[in-house]
Amino acid sequence: QSALTQPASVSGSAGQSITISCTGTSSDVGGFNYVSWYQQHPGKAPKLMIYDVSKRPSGVSNRFSGSKSGNTASLTISGLQAEDEADYYCSSYTSSSTWVFGGGTKLTVL
Amino acid sequence: QVQLQESGPGLVKPSQTLSLTCTVSGGSISSGSYYWSWIRQPAGKGLEWIGRIYTSGTTNYSPSLKSRVTISVDTSKNQFSLKLNSVTAADTAVYYCAFGLTTLHYWGQGTLVTVSS
């Protein structure tokens, strides 16, 4: 299985919105509604931000939203804040009953 | 709230077996229907899913690691474990345990394992 494809980096100014894409295949992203997004600050464990494509865990800001179209999932962060600067990873369930991660995207808040 | 804590040797020699344990607190590993997973992250690199074990004992492994990995659960100790054999320097990473059903909902803080002689 190949890693899901994410842009290496994205940036946006405080208050703006950004979108991070996550492209897979029909055997993972396109085939299941089990896409998740994780936020990771340096030296910290990943934190779940979105699961099942668009669901937010309790306590996660509604500035974070997820969607999917075909084999590509997306994470949108609106009203960018300084604390949103982190690495973001997508993951998907696969037809082999495994999980696969994206390569990660570094978000810079200008 | 359920919490996870990884433990095990921080240094493993090449060709030997890496063994880690994840202790679950705040809940029973045998209650509910969840997947208990291991994930790793080499320094400066992305996350790699290693494998998982279901509450029933069913396991699934990453195809790239399947030949070297075993994940097991000890309900009496409320723990699940990872064994990775024939390690090389490429297995040096922070190893995380996590659990959830359709996602990796809760994560441990991670433990660094270095493979070196």
User: What distances in angstroms separate CA A46 from CA A24, B6, B95, one per listed residue?
Assistant: 21, 15, 12
CB pairs under 8 A between A and B: 62
Q: Do A89 and B46 touch (CB under 8 A)?
A: yes
- Amino acid identity at B34: Y
Find tokens 């994780």 and name the residue: A38
Q: Do B46 and A57 touch (CB under 8 A)?
A: no
pLDDT in tens, A50-93: 999 999 999 999 999 999 999 999 999 999 999 999 999 999 99
What average pLDDT does range B76-100 have in this prediction?
A: 97
- Amino acid identity at B68: R
On the question of pLDDT at B47 being above 90, the answer is yes
